[in-house]
């Protein structure tokens, strides 16, 4: 494979085939156009369109500045934040097949193999579905695939080298992780260019660094200060490391997650198995033949795939695998080519596999295209069915971005989830807006059929309820009055507190999110949690901010449950005024949840 020599030109027949498949792929993108936002990140992106602030996760760090800036430009002609974001996805989805075909050609794959690889990537269920949403995944991967293709072309063409460097910088401006995909192609192209013109290399690097600096400099400026932005990014990174990555002791070992990230990312078990077999054939054949094209494919997308396996949320593989879907599409197409002795057989097998993905995915897109999502319907129900002058609204954490965006003036108090136990008593009928995952729900319930969509989308927001809160806790002793900051409600306890939790089924989930006073962390106190006289947990915290979940047995016979919490040392703040009696502070409880385990 000689990257300094252009690929062979296409024949008239090949041009016709290319444009036919490209047109079909482009038209198919409209089948995935969602009628409304549905998921958490879409709401955050829309909030970022309205008021960009990374510290408040509008959107979440590091801020996706190029994605949001492009959408804001489109917002001048598109009268909707969601539709402006979605329009970027539509354009990216239309361009994905040409980008993949160009990349395959630069890797010197034969014409039918290039078409199959590009079509497979376009019609992978997750790629097709997310191309109709307001997420950044498809715009990100389309842009970086173009960047990689131009960088490989840059081994022989200075203009392509500059274009590739420019596009890679834009892709990094959407997601910094794209640098992992672009580093090998850029290094390879730079090796070729530096032999001819050091000035070209320096200029391309300056342009790339400047673009990235402008993008994230804009994000910092819109957020506030560098210190605020850096703190938000650092806290988000720490959360990913602590919760999503292999460093989380509760995360399954990497060997158990390998198949989820590298074999089951196709959403269809049957089609995933077939595709994986073709990938394995390609890997074996490429190693035996020392095929540089497949080596370059692996070196390009492999680092991101490994990073995803190590660091990213195992429950969102269907989304995150979009970042390395091109690698598997090209491997699978190459595997088909290696097993086929004739071009006709290769084309037939490739068409069958692409067509199977198309037919498997298409029905799942119908409800997304035609129906308003449960998360949006839940927010609409607040306005339609509640009188907030006479009723109180509590909103589960996962639903708060939707209410913040769609009904920004509606007052509410934030709780954790569908099992929420509000920290304050209320004299008015309380209602809860929550995603249903473990409880049957009541009141106004909105559902989206699962079917194949359950495997394609994130398994969230399929059921949302606006329901009356009939099961409330009683804070018996040891508690100070509840306090509130905007939508956040919290409550201090002294050294020991007693709370009565309502009856529930025998298998129950208890979740407590709380803080230990900073003054005590030099020699942390012992925290004890007791339910119905039985010790649930007793530990010495290693950090001040904690969230603990327990599967427990509730009291039998449909009777109340007694929760006791205690610390063996408390903090007494310094007196601010003479005669003031300062409180004895044990724990600061932020969220309390209690209810059936499943």
Residues 182 and 250 in one domain: yes
User: How many domains is the chain partitioned into structurally?
Assistant: 3
pLDDT number for residue 578: 47
Residues 565 and 426 in one domain: no
Mean pLDDT of 355-366: 97
- Classify residue 381: in a domain, yes or no: yes
Residues 380 and 348 in one domain: no
Residues 326 and 254 in one domain: yes
Residues 418 and 438 in one domain: yes
Residues 262 and 331 in one domain: yes
Query: Is residue 574 scored above 90 in pLDDT?
Result: no
DSSP secondary structure, 332-355, as one string? HHHHHHHH-SSHHHHHHHHHHHHH
Residues 283 and 396 in one domain: no
H or E segment at 12? Answer: helix 12-28
Domain that holds residue 63: 19-370
Percent share of the chain, pLDDT over 90: 87
Query: Is residue 277 scored above 90 in pLDDT?
Result: yes
Query: Is residue 573 scored above 80 in pLDDT?
Result: no
Model confidence at 81, in pLDDT bands (50, 70, 90)?
very high
Residues 355 and 483 in one domain: no
Look at strands 488-501 and 561-567 and give their pairing: antiparallel
Enter the tokens of residue 502. Answer: 């309502």
- Classify residue 383: in a domain, yes or no: yes
Among candidate residues 434, 468, 502, the one where a domain is terminated: 468
Q: pLDDT tens digits, residue range 338-348?
A: 999 889 999 99
- Classify residue 216: in a domain, yes or no: yes
| Mean pLDDT, the chain, whole residue set | 94
Model confidence at 471, in pLDDT bands (50, 70, 90)?
confident
Among candidate residues 354, 370, 386, the one where a domain is terminated: 370
pTM: 0.93
Q: pLDDT tens digits, residue range 198-255?
A: 888 999 999 999 999 999 999 999 999 999 999 999 999 998 998 899 988 889 999 9
Query: Is residue 25 scored above 80 in pLDDT?
Result: yes
- Report the chain's C-alpha Rg in angstroms: 27
Query: Is residue 579 scored above 80 in pLDDT?
Result: no
pLDDT number for residue 575: 56
Residues 392 and 412 in one domain: yes
Mean pLDDT of 566-570: 93
Enter the tokens of residue 110. Answer: 């034969």
- Classify residue 85: in a domain, yes or no: yes
Higher pLDDT, 48 or 557: 48
What crossing angle do the helices spanning 81-106 and 325-339 adopt, rounded to 10°? 40
Percent share of the chain, pLDDT over 70: 99
Residues 45 and 84 in one domain: yes
- Classify residue 66: in a domain, yes or no: yes
Residues 79 and 221 in one domain: yes
Residue 94: CB partners within 8 Å, gap ≥ 6?
A: 25, 26, 29
Residues 364 and 383 in one domain: no
Task: Return the half-sphere exposure (C-beta side, CA atoms, 13 A cut-off) of residue 282.
Answer: 26
Among candidate residues 313, 347, 370, the one where a domain is terminated: 370
- Classify residue 5: in a domain, yes or no: no
Quick one: 176 exposed, middle or buried, by C-beta within 10 A (0-12, 13-18, 19+)? middle
Q: pLDDT tens digits, residue range 55-64?
A: 999 999 999 9
- Classify residue 55: in a domain, yes or no: yes
**Nearest alpha carbon to residue 92 among 130, 43, 63, 59:** 130
Enter the tokens of residue 244. Answer: 């999503």
pLDDT number for residue 491: 94
Residue 587 maps to which CATH number?
A: 2.60.120.260
- Classify residue 346: in a domain, yes or no: yes
């Amino acid at each position: 494979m000689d990257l300094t020599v252009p690929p062979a030109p296409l024949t008239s027949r090949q041009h016709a085939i290319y444009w036919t498949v490209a047109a079909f792929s482009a038209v198919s993108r409209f089948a995935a156009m969602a009628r409304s936002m549905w998921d958490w990140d879409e709401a955050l992106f829309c909030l970022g369109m309205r008021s960009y602030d990374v510290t408040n996760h509008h959107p979440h760090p590091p801020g996706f500045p190029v994605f949001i800036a492009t959408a804001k430009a489109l917002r001048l002609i598109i009268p909707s934040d969601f539709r402006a974001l979605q329009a970027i996805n539509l354009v990216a989805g239309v361009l994905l097949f040409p980008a993949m075909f160009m990349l395959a050609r630069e890797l010197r794959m034969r014409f039918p193999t290039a078409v199959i690889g590009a079509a497979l990537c376009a019609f992978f269920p997750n790629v097709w579905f997310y191309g109709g949403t307001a997420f950044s995944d498809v715009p990100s991967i389309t842009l970086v695939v173009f960047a990689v293709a131009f960088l490989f072309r840059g081994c022989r063409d200075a203009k392509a080298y500059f274009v590739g460097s420019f596009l890679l910088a834009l892709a990094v401006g959407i997601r910094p992780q794209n640098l992992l995909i672009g580093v090998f192609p850029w290094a390879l192209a730079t090796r070729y260019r530096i032999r001819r013109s050091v000035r070209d290399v320096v200029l391309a690097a300056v342009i790339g660094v400047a673009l990235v600096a402008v993008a994230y400099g804009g994000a910092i400026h819109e957020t506030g200060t560098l210190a605020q932005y850096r703190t938000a990014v650092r806290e988000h990174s720490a959360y990913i490391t602590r919760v999503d990555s292999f460093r989380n002791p509760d995360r399954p070992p990497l060997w158990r997650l390998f198949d989820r990230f590298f074999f089951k990312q196709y959403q269809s078990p049957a089609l995933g198995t077939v595709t994986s077999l073709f990938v394995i054939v390609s890997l074996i054949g490429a190693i035996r033949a020392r095929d540089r094209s497949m080596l370059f494919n692996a070196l390009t997308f492999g680092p991101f795939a490994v990073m995803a396996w190590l660091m990213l949320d195992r429950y969102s593989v269907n989304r995150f695998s979009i970042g390395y879907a091109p690698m598997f599409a090209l491997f699978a197409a190459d595997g088909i080519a290696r097993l086929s002795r004739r071009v006709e057989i290769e084309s037939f097998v490739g068409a069958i596999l692409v067509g199977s993905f198309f037919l498997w995915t298409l029905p799942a897109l119908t409800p997304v295209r035609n129906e308003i999502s449960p998360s949006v319907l839940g927010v609409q129900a607040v306005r339609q069915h509640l009188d907030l002058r006479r009723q109180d609204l509590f909103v589960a954490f996962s639903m708060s971005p939707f209410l913040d965006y769609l009904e920004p003036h509606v007052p509410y108090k934030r709780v954790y989830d569908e099992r929420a136990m509000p920290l304050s008593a209320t004299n008015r009928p309380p209602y809860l807006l929550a995603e249903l995952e473990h409880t049957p729900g009541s009141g106004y319930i909105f559902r989206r059929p699962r079917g194949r969509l359950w495997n394609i989308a994130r398994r969230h927001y399929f059921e949302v309820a606006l329901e009356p809160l009939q099961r409330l806790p009683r804070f018996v002793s040891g508690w100070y009055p509840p306090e509130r900051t905007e939508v956040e409600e919290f409550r201090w306890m002294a050294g020991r507190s007693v709370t009565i939790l309502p009856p529930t089924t025998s298998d129950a989930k208890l979740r407590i999110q709380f803080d230990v006073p900073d003054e005590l962390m030099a020699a942390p106190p012992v925290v004890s949690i007791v339910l119905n006289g039985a010790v649930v947990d007793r530990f010495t915290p290693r950090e001040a901010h904690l969230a603990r979940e327990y599967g427990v047995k509730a009291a039998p016979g449909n009777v109340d449950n007694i929760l006791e919490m205690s610390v063996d040392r408390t903090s007494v703040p310094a007196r601010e005024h003479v005669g003031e009696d300062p409180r004895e502070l044990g724990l600061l409880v932020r969220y309390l949840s209690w209810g059936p385990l499943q």
